[in-house]
Amino acid sequence: MRRMGSAFDAVTVFFGAAVAGVTLFLPVTFASIRESTPYQLANLWNSVPRGAAIGVIVAVAVAVVVGTTARPATAWVVALVGTVAQLINHIAGHNAASADMLTTQNYIDAVCAGIVLGGLGVVALRKPVLAAAFALGGVGFFVFSDLADFLDIDDDPFDVLESPPSWLIVLVLALLIVSALRNRSRIGEPEPLRLSIELPVAPILAAMVLALVILAVTEWLQRQYITAPAINHAVDIGFTAAATVCAATAAAMLLPGRDGYGVYLAVSLTATADAFGYAHRPGWSVWILLALAAVGMLAGARMPAAPLAVALLAGLAVFAILVPPESNWILFSVGSVVLALTAGYCCATARPRHAPSGVLAVAALYLPTVISVLPDDSKSWQSPDGAAHDSTPGRAALAIVLGSAVGLAVLHRFRPRGRPQSTDPAADAALADI
């Protein structure tokens, strides 16, 4: 019975993380979007990366606050509250008469997704199976970006009925209610003696640095393309890639021990997957890629090796440099398989020891990248026949991967795997050392 309960909780964590990922990856849309003006649509799409940055910061802050309690049920309740708030936001969206509120509702959705990720991240740290479900759900929608096809979400915003769908939010809500009730008996467990009530602010600072710097430099690069679309922006792209690695380094150094592995691997994985490109896949392929990501996760759990993870990411970046977008579907399918395996392997290799660090690594997957703001024709597998292959996305991704590799080597050299053991009970009880 205990194993069945853990399996059910794992399903809950998986779907909760997946829906939160959909929320941060896509703009909120309702029927009122058909009445939107081009200006309103532009504001909505521009709010997606900003909402993702807000969601990252909220998620880590929630994980820090909830992680200070020894009551597991608290984390379940927090995730439940976030899902209820998101459902209310969608109900209000269905009844809104104007499209003016779409951008505001998108930010509200991002905050709710951050709350869910933060709560589930604390839950996930308690059991390996829950941690695997959290990572798989978080990385899932991102890796096979056309889970949109599975959810009947089209690229044309005027063809979108709703994202994420209300039925999916309701499903997560039902699962969270059952899991919260199943774990309610643990509320009464005695808490260990705590001599300090200070909150560990370092993970929150790490989230703010990573999210805000990446958001600022990617929006700056986007403006450069808008103001001067015809010129070569190689220097601008190089500056943005360097700033991304510097932000990841600052965030990694703020996290305890080697928890910063997850930050480096997240920004590298995000850039590599963006450089790999997009193409429509049948909805059923989502489950195959999920299974492949799980296989990669099992391999990473048995033989974790950051150099191998970096090598796989670098290989995918080189693939994006060499393979033109008009290549056949076989190459794209093989690349998709390798990408899914690599994503799972990176999740298991990161292996953060503190909940806020794990939440930051997963949430960082939804931040914008230098590649995501490049013109679409430079990173699409649906380019017109005969179009010249643009290797810029792959080169930018490779630069980020190599920069992250240097950061990983430095982190491995100067940081212990975990925080040192202390013989001072007062120091062990303090929360600020996280």
**Going from the N-terminus, what domains does the chain have, and what CATH number goes with each?**
1-187 (1.20.1250.20), 198-418+428-434 (no CATH)
Residue with tokens 């890629």: 289
pLDDT at residue number 325: 56
SS3 163: strand
**Separation of alpha carbons 50 and 280, rounded Å:** 26
**HSE value, Cβ hemisphere, 13 Å, CA-based, for 317:** 24
Buried b (16+ CB within 10 A) or exposed e, 77-114: bbbbbbbebbbebbeebeebeebebbbebbbbbbbbbb
Better pLDDT: 58 or 158: 58
Chain segment 323-340, per-residue pLDDT in tens: 875 567 788 888 889 999
Q: Smallest Cα–Cα separation from 48: which of 62, 28, 30?
A: 28
Find residue 163's DSSP bridge partners.
Answer: 29
Phi and psi, residue 278, nearest 5°: -125, 145
Token digits of residue 400: 């980020």
Chain segment 235-253, per-residue pLDDT in tens: 999 999 999 999 999 999 9
Based on DSSP, count helices (H) and strands (E) in the chain, helices before strands: 16, 0
Count of C-beta atoms within a 10 Å radius of residue 331:
13
Count of C-beta atoms within a 10 Å radius of residue 322:
11
What is the dihedral sign for C-alpha 192, 78, 65, 347? positive
Helix, strand and coil percent figures for the chain, each rounded to 5: 75, 0, 25
pLDDT at residue number 373: 86
421 confidence band (pLDDT: 50, 70, 90):
very low
**HSE value, Cβ hemisphere, 13 Å, CA-based, for 290:** 19
SS3 401: helix
425 confidence band (pLDDT: 50, 70, 90):
very low
**Separation of alpha carbons 418 and 420, rounded Å:** 6
Better pLDDT: 188 or 2: 2
Quote the strand ranges of 18-170, DSSP E: none
Q: Smallest Cα–Cα separation from 251: which of 280, 18, 243?
A: 243
Q: Smallest Cα–Cα separation from 374: which of 210, 234, 212?
A: 234
**Separation of alpha carbons 198 and 217, rounded Å:** 33
pLDDT at residue number 271: 93
Residue range 59-88: average pLDDT?
A: 90
Q: Would you say how long the chain is, in residues?
A: 434
Give pTM, 2 decimals. Answer: 0.87
Planar angle of CA 8, 362, 168, nearest 5 degrees: 50
Q: Smallest Cα–Cα separation from 343: which of 383, 289, 287?
A: 289
30 confidence band (pLDDT: 50, 70, 90):
low
**Separation of alpha carbons 296 and 423, rounded Å:** 38
Average confidence score pLDDT of the chain: 82
pLDDT at residue number 423: 37
Residue with tokens 């700033």: 243
433 confidence band (pLDDT: 50, 70, 90):
very low
Question: DSSP alpha helices (H): ranges in 228-260?
Answer: 234-254
Better pLDDT: 38 or 312: 312
35 confidence band (pLDDT: 50, 70, 90):
low
Residue with tokens 């049948």: 282
Token digits of residue 267: 């920004």
Token digits of residue 51: 């909402």
